[in-house]
């Protein structure tokens, strides 16, 4: 990351903090729980700056410049909007009916019509009716599902 951008990223407040992107187990396994609040803030700021730089470079690569871009202004604006559109960092819904936790390749059918499947290891046994679940962005394009009132999370991927 170039120094000009690094300086700019220090002034930028991260949209998400690493401790909220990782599961508790991942955060501990990486040893990040040992960082002071100040050290964690520096890491979050750097990580946000790095991701923002990668996003900008991807947009620049996707949008031609110079003569090849002549006449493509409308197309490139649509491409740029795809990369920059505002999407939530998490969703909340319910699993309709009896929920018995997860083990292996559990499929989660949500009230909002989405279907997600367990993609990470782990087991969680519980018996609940219509539980509220949250799915939030994790690291490197992953997603984490948690059940309201419980501390367990599992990595998931959307299948529908």
DSSP 69-102: GTT-HHHHHHHHHHHH----SEEEEEB-SEEEEE
67 plus 127 within the same structural domain: no
Both 14 and 80 in one domain: the answer is yes
Domain boundary at 68, 84, 100, which? 84
Q: Please report, in tens digits, the pLDDT of each residue of the chain (160 residues total).
A: 444 544 454 455 556 788 878 888 888 899 999 999 899 888 888 888 887 787 777 777 766 666 666 666 556 566 656 655 566 788 999 999 999 999 999 999 999 999 999 999 999 999 999 999 999 988 777 899 999 999 899 999 998 8
Whether residue 114 is found in the same domain as residue 140: yes
Boundary (domain end) residue, out of 84, 100, 133: 84
| Last residue in a domain, options 24, 56, 84 | 84
CA distance 21 to 14: 12
pLDDT of 3 = 46
- Rounded CA separation 94/102 (Å): 15
Q: Model-level pTM greater than 0.75?
A: no
Q: Under a CB-based contact definition with an 8 Å cutoff, are residues 137 and 90 in contact?
A: yes
pLDDT of residue 73: 59
Range of the domain at 77: 3-84
Say how many domains are in the chain: 2
């Amino acid at each position: 990351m170039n120094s000009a951008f690094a300086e700019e990223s220090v002034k930028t407040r991260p949209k998400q903090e690493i401790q909220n992107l990782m599961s508790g187990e991942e955060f501990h396994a990486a040893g990040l729980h040992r960082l002071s609040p100040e050290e964690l803030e520096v890491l979050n700021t750097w990580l946000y700056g790095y991701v923002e730089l990668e996003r900008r470079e991807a947009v620049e690569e996707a949008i031609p410049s110079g003569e090849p871009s002549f006449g493509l202004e409308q197309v490139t604006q649509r491409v740029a909007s795809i990369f920059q559109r505002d999407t939530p960092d998490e969703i909340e819904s319910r699993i309709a009916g009896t929920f018995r936790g997860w083990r292996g390749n559990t499929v989660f059918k949500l009230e909002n019509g989405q279907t997600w499947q367990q993609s990470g290891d782990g087991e969680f046994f519980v018996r609940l009716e219509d539980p509220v679940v949250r799915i939030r962005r994790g690291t490197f394009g992953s997603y984490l599902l948690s059940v309201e009132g419980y501390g367990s999370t599992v990595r998931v991927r959307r299948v529908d």
